[in-house]
Structure 1
Amino acid sequence: MKKSAGIAVGALVAVAAIGTGGAWYTGQQLPAVLDASIKQANAEMAKTLPALGLDASIELLSLDRQFFSSNARYRIKFNGSLDGEAPQQLEWIITDRIEHGPFPLSRLKALKLMPVMATSNYALESNPALEKWFAASKGVSPVEGQASLGYDQSVSGTLRINPLQSALDEDTSLDFTGLNVDFDTSAGAKAIEAQGLMDSFKLSTKLPESGEAMSIEFKGMTLDSQTAKGSSDFYLGKNEVKLQTVQIQVGEGAPVQLNGFVQRDETSETDGKLFARYSYDIGMINYQGHDIGGSQMVWSMKNLDASALQSLVAIYSQIIKDSGQLQQASLEAEDDLPQLSEEQQAQLMAGLDKLLAAKPGIALEKLAFKTANGESSLSLSVDLNKPESFELPPPELAKQLIAQLDAKVSVSKAMIGDVIGLQASLGGETDKEAVAQQASMMTEMASGMALSTELAKLEGDSIVSSLHYADDKVDFNGKQMTVEEFVAMAFASGAGMGGMGAMGEEEQSMEGVEFEEQGEETLVE
């Protein structure tokens, strides 16, 4: 027993010695580590933010070193605008209590026993410019968090934006339950993972013209991000944001509610070319207690030459920095835009040539709306080529620039019926048989008008129109023709539809009268 007790005491003494020695070592290394981290952060921001019209920098104001902990203060200077208004200059002070490793007390209390170099406990410091923000957070620092630096230079921690309740002005108020983000980054932030949670965010205001009250509320947000730097220095990977509901209300009217909103993006790199895909889904749109339908939008890009894109971003950033106008330059009148030098123009054209030489493509893969009985969709894709010269006449330039174009519209007859039936129900119509008859009549009328002009054809229960262009030839709904023939046909069909539209309105008016008379007869019976 005495031997076991002696071993235990010896182990505790050894751990205490390691902790004390480690704390002393961290205290000695801390100034160099902080200096390197700040330089790296400033370099990254200087490389990426100017293209967004922003400029920011971090500096260490003070560092009070003690044996087991240190106190630091940082200043963040911000210049620019994200909302199109005049550039703003802001200055934030961050206070930081740094616990020295290898076993910071806060981590031991949380049963996190993995040794780390240091743990940072940071918070935004109050100043006169931030008084309203601190008041909205009930005096608590609006932004705070914790980050632990590993011996391999990885960083893990939590960022918290605390709950806010504030009247922004006499017409606008904000109610925010806060946002928590957990993150892990590898050395040099080459790989980043983040997960976030938010309960609700509600903004209430008044419309400027009518003075009606309007509110928009986001509930149940989660975010998941897994990205890493590729060989081109762009962050690649997956990001996902989900919202349980988005509710929009104007005046005393019924709210519009979007359920199950999901935004996803995925980027990858192969042989120096970037590929990206972005999707936006709404599970169900609800209005006045009626489920209207769901929607989906998917965009994609392919064959983006990574080095050319990186070069164009760098050139654009430099132009904006040289102009001294940041993002405002792109929002002002054309005469006020920065003038490019011949060298800058040559650099831009060289980057654009290289980008087009990779044959990039952009596609709206799907824009769809789905009701209970049908789905309608639109798709459009364009593949580009490098033209011989940008000085060519516009028709010839377009011919060389567009390698191929595909477009397709598919309208479900069943979905048309669902929409017309819903409109009747929202208008107070309760006779289901009459609603169904009216929906069927309007659906067949729309179908007949589209098919009679040969702008569409019927495929199953859908009205479909498709277009393929390549090599100066057009395939429209399966018919081969030249571009000139297609343009002439489109104009002729458009004129025909205009005449039929006028006839259709008159017929619809007469059929509406007949529909009403039939309804009256039914009521009499």
Structure 2
Amino acid sequence: MDYDRMKKSLVAVGVIVALGVVWTGTAWYTGKQLEGRMAEMISNANTELNKASPEAGLTLGYQDYHRGLFSSTMHLVIKPTAGMTSAILKPDQTIVFNETIDHGPFPFAQLKKFNLLPSMASVHTTLMNNPTTKPLFDIAKGQSFIDAQTRIGYSGDTSSDINLLPLNYENGEQKVAFSGGEFKADVDGQGDKIAVSGEAQSGLVNTVNEYGQHVQITFNGIKTEGNSTRSEFIERIGSQKASIDKLAISIEGKEMAVVEGFNINAKSELQEDKKHLSGQIDYALNSLKVQNKDMGSGKLTLKVGNLDGAAVREFSQKYNAESQKLLADPAFSQNPEAYQQQIVELFAANLPLLLKGDPVITVAPLSWKNAKGESSFNLSLFLKDPAQSTGEPKTPEEQLNRVVKSLDSKLVIPVDMATELMTQVAQLEGYQPAEAAKLAEQQIKGLAAMGQMFRVTTMEDNNVVSSLQYSNGQVTLNGQKMALGDLLGMFGMPTMGEPEAAPVPEPETPAVPEAPAVPQQ
């Protein structure tokens, strides 16, 4: 009996020793394997960073790699790209992360969370305190503001839990408070699929502006969620949501503006033919208050479809290459206004590429709503590739027909809604409620009368309405058909290749009662 027990004990000890040898050998191997792949991983990360944000002018690197038996350490370094001016860091600045890597197959940090899935490594990331990041450490009471734990699978997949620590800092009249935040990022081994989500509960900033006024900014409930996949034509397609429950701005203790329920929902995808792209972005604002005046709520849905994928890729490549050249040129990188002008010209020069495939743009709708009604604007614009046209355009119709297949738009503004909005605006300017209402009514009536006089708008059921359709050189404005040249002539615009029309006498402006005087403040 004692012999049997001793035999079983020796077997148990042998198993434990064998497991220890296997664990040690595997941990050493995976640590070495990770070190061998580090350069490749950093290179891939720089490629992604350069594609996603070339204007940032940043490069990722690593240094001080020390491999141990069960764990390794290194520093991850973000610095300005050589020969480029970074929009974030100065030439002598760096952001350094401390990386502690627990080797697999069962990293200790992972076991602490009862995650028993084998993995190559688990990486703990914190921010290093250096001259660049010292201000952040000061308001975080000497702690790293960022604390992240990343699991690296043998396939190269990564899953990161990123914590932003709470902040509470006061220095005289300046104050920063932040609840902290939790974010999660998952990336597959090839970097093709990325999913990001997270939220931060609240934050506050007290400061003094250039006029010596005390300014306070607060926010509540920031959330984000999205996923993307690498695309053949553009860098990524997918969806992204972002929202904020409340954002408030106060000056000298007086609430100036409050935004509630702001949401953005964007998505892009390949169409069924796998050659064209489409995208949609939705904006929604549940409430806007300015100095306690309810200004209303709004929404916008913008869609773009039938973008030629190959043309979009060519546009992206040219735009990114040229923008990087501009950033590398001190004449532009050190002159924001000149740089912005060049970027606009660069975009305009390559815009014809985006017209390949005959894209479609729709706005359905752009609207603003208050207690008295809702105004709306809808647009459907079918474009076409100007490269398919031959010869030089000689008339406005020919010029427009090169790029526009058809247009259909409609604007509806309820008079009561517009009057209510302008009443609120007048009160913000200092008018008393009765005076503000009277002034707003006069303004809206005057504008409606002027719109009808110039035949730009009509009145329907107490709504100011304007509709415009265009196709094949034919315009329909508020139900009246006319040539494009006639429409341009209504606004005194000359036509191409044709003598300018004789000036049309300006109609008399409708008489508007004199507005109440602005009260002295």
Asked if structure 2 preserves the Cα contact closer than 8 Å seen for 1:455 and 1:493, the reply is no
1:29 to 28, 33, 44: 33
Question: Residues 420 and 437 of structure 2 are in contact (CA less than 8 Å); yes or no, is this contact kept in structure 1?
Answer: no
**Which one-letter code corresponds to 2:489 in the other structure?**
A
Report the Cα distance in structure 2 between the residues aligned to 1:171 and 1:8, rounded to whole angstroms: 67
The 3-state SS of whatever aligns with 1:255 is strand
Amino acid at match of 1:331: P
**Larger displacement relative to structure 2 (18-27 or 221-230):** 18-27
Q: State the 1:486 CA deviation.
A: 1.7
Which of 513, 517, 521 is equivalent to 1:505? 513
* In structure 2, distance between residues paired with 1:294 and 1:228: 33
Q: How far apart are the structure 2 equivalents of 1:440 and 1:47?
A: 53
Q: Cα distance, 1:310 vs. partner?
A: 2.0
Kindly state the Cα deviation for residue 264 of structure 1 after the two structures are TM-superposed. 1.3
- CA distance in 1 between counterparts of 2:446 and 2:209 reads 39
Contact 2:333–2:339 under 8 Å retained in 1:
no
1:33-432 → structure 2 map (5 Å cutoff) = 33-50=37-54, 53-79=55-81, 88=91, 90-165=93-168, 174-208=176-210, 210-270=211-271, 271-323=274-326, 324-325=328-329, 328=333, 331-333=336-338, 353-387=352-386, 388=389, 395=396, 396-419=398-421, 422=424
Cα distance, 1:183 vs. partner? 1.2
Q: Distance in 1 between matches of 2:319 and 2:160?
A: 34
Please provide the CA RMSD for this pair. 4.0
Contact 1:329 1:337 in 2 (8 A): no
Instruction: Check 1:494–1:99 CA distance in 2 against 1; reply closer, same or farther (3 A cut).
Output: farther
The amino acid across from 2:280 in the alignment is R
**Contact 2:80/2:89 (<8 A) preserved:** no
Residues 238 and 415 of structure 1: is their aligned pair in 2 closer, same or farther, counting only changes over 3 Å?
A: same
Equivalent position of 1:523 in the other structure: none
Cα deviation, 1:394-415, whole Å, max 9, x if unaligned, reads 9443441233333321102331
More helix per residue: 1
Shift of 1:418: 3.1
**Secondary structure at 2:63 match in 1:** strand
Letter in 1 for 2:298: S
Q: Give the CA deviation at 1:493.
A: 10
Mark the runs of 5 or more structure 1 residues left unpaired by the alignment. 513-525
Worse-matched range after superposition: 158-167 or 230-239? 158-167
Identity percentage of aligned residues = 24
After TM superposition, give the deviation of residue 235 of structure 1 in Å: 1.3
- Matched residue SS, 1:188: coil
Change (3 A) 1:298 1:376: same
Q: Distance in 1 between matches of 2:168 and 2:373?
A: 43
Aligned-pair CA distance for 1:47: 3.8
SS at match of 2:239: strand
Q: How many residues align?
A: 491
Q: In the superposition, relative to structure 1, how do residues 143 and 444 fare at CA in structure 2: closer, same or farther (>3 Å)?
A: same
Distance 1:112 1:224 in 2: 24
Indicate the residue corresponding to 1:520 in structure 2.
none
Distance (Å, rounded) in 2 between the aligned partners of 1:151 and 1:334:
44
Counterpart in the other structure of 1:522: none
Give the distance between the partners of 1:87 and 1:131, measured in 2 at CA: 15
CA offset digits 1:68-127 (Å, max 9, x no partner): 1111222222246676x9965532222211011121122211122222111000122122
Alpha-carbon distance in structure 2 between the residues aligned to 1:316 and 1:251: 45
CA distance in 2, matches of 1:13, 1:407: 78
Residue 60 of structure 1 aligns to a residue whose secondary structure is strand
Counterpart of 1:27 in 2: which secondary structure? helix
CA spacing shift, 1:74–1:364, aligned 2, 3 Å:
same
Q: Find the residue that maps to 2:227 and give its secondary structure.
A: strand
| Counterpart residue type for residue 472 of structure 1 | G
Residue equivalent to 1:469: 470
Q: SS state of the match for residue 402, structure 2?
A: helix
Which amino acid in the other structure matches residue 404 of structure 1?
S
Q: Counterpart of 2:200 in structure 1: which amino acid? A: M
* C-alpha distance in structure 2 between counterparts of 1:108 and 1:302, whole Å: 48
Give the deviation of 1:282 after TM superposition. Answer: 1.0
The C-alpha deviation readout for 1:193-245, integer Å capped at 9, x for no partner, is 1111112233444443x443333322210111121112325211111111110
Counterpart-to-counterpart distance in 2, 1:148 and 1:71 = 15
In 2, are the aligned partners of 1:92 and 1:125 still within 8 Å (CA)?
yes
